[in-house]
Chains A and B, each alone.
Chain A
């Protein structure tokens, strides 16, 4: 049961396509789990559709339509009008959704660490070359490994976190907004417990220490406004090293 959703600002900025990519990837991943938010995004797009239909039309160039038909004729075999990419994309999305669903019922032994293929939301396919097993992981302590995702023009940092069942993340405080989308498993912190599909936002200044539940590894998509600073002196010492490692992987 999904209990945490993007708010009206995220959904509106998403539906109007004004959300920076890293955040848009997070919202898109949540939508794959959440029919209610998908419906909202569709309704928001209706606003766009109706506003579009009310615009003052711009005059077209006189031969506008003929030029387009000329392009179509040059590209298409007469009588064959098939956009195979649409069909492929649709089947791809269906496959990924069902793969994610089946991944949820996997037991601990078939965890990503065990090498089983775990499919990711469609928004992550290209970024991850198809699956968790293809990511470049950086091991941070026993319980946590992180795979940075390279989302080009973004000022945010995007990554997938894999927390071992029962494992704790170092307690950390946020210097900027952090979005977490739970892709698999569940975790809890002092504020509550979260399950697959949940979309969580933590603001600057909030500190927390997430812990994965005992029965399953936890996989999260994380988008950070700025690097998170761990509280303990040990991690603070580690941080330059960690940043260096992440940077190396991200730019490789």
Chain B
């Protein structure tokens, strides 16, 4: 029985295999350029869109192209550290793009570098082995439930994760009290079965 079948059996959920995981593994094992080109064709335009939306004044279109290349270069180099049982390729690439983005913003502010972004935001943060099953299950639910969120909840998640705004900045932009933003995000997280107690 494969790991995935085992997970499906134990969780009573059908977890689909990650369509991009074999390509990443192939890049990791043999530097497979064809596999990498497929990944590039799919992810680089998405990353470019993500950076164009999330960097506001820091970014024009040609800079977004350069940065998307930067992110894909990291995907090429770090392919070996990808662990499909902990995160999907989507999530893994999101964390790399997210870290590249804050790194770029920090560099553009010419701050001295007493901190390495990756020391704070680890790309491959591993939960306890016990919760990995739960992890994959929640991911399947997130994928399925995102489309069913009420528009005002989908909007605040989009603002946070894609446009890169904090709770405070979302409150300011949408002219809402901070408490409202917080409760909208909490409601959305509950629907996605990300159950944070506080």
Most buried by A among B53, B118, B127: B127
Specify which of B33, B50, B114, B134 is in contact with A52 (CB 8 Å cutoff): B50
* Residue from A39, A87, A150 whose CB has the most chain B CB atoms within 10 Å: A39
- Chain B residues near A17 (CB-CB < 8 A): 98-99, 101-102, 121, 164
* A53 CB contacts on chain B under 8 angstroms: 46, 90
Q: Given that A64-B69, A150-B114 are contacting pairs, would A49 and B160 also be in contact in the complex, using a CB cutoff of 8 Å?
A: no
Q: How far is the CA of A67 from the CA of B69 in the complex (A)?
A: 9
Q: When the two chains form their complex, are residues B73 and A31 in contact, meaning their CB atoms are under 8 A apart? A: no
Asked if residues A28 and B120 are in contact (CB atoms below 8 Å), the reply is yes
Total A-B contacts with CB atoms under 8 angstroms apart? 219
Are B48 and A40 in contact, with the CB atoms below 8 A?
no
A78-99 residues at the B interface, CB under 8 angstroms: 79, 81-83, 86-87, 89-90, 93
Residue of A nearest to B72 (CB): A68
> A43 with B73: in contact, given A7-B198, A153-B111 (CB under 8 Å)?
no
B64 nearest in chain A by CB position? A58
Q: A13-B167, A35-B128, A81-B77 are in contact. Are A40 and B196 (CB under 8 A)?
A: yes
* CB–CB A83/B48 < 8 A: no
CA–CA, A12 and B150, complex, Å: 19
Chain B residues with Cβ under 8 A from A8's Cβ?
182, 185-186, 189, 196, 198
Q: Complex: how many Å from CA A26 to CA B98?
A: 19
Q: Please classify how large the interface on chain A is, using the bins under 10, 10 to 19, 20 to 34, 35 or more.
A: 35 or more
**Range for the number of chain B residues in contact with chain A:** 35 or more
Chain B residues near A69 (CB, 8 Å)?
33
28 of the cross-chain contacts (CB-CB < 8 Å) are: A7-B198, A8-B189, A9-B185, A16-B160, A17-B99, A19-B166, A21-B115, A28-B120, A43-B138, A45-B87, A45-B95, A46-B91, A48-B161, A49-B95, A50-B90, A52-B93, A57-B46, A58-B64, A64-B44, A64-B65, A72-B76, A83-B81, A86-B77, A90-B81, A126-B114, A152-B114, A153-B109, A153-B111
> Which residues in B have some Cβ–Cβ distance to A below 8 Å?
31, 33, 37, 40-41, 44-50, 52-53, 61, 64-65, 68-69, 72-73, 76-78, 80-81, 86-88, 90-95, 97-99, 101-102, 106, 109, 111-112, 114-116, 118-122, 124-128, 131, 134-135, 138-139, 142-143, 146, 157-158, 160-162, 164-167, 169, 182, 185-186, 189, 192, 194, 196-198
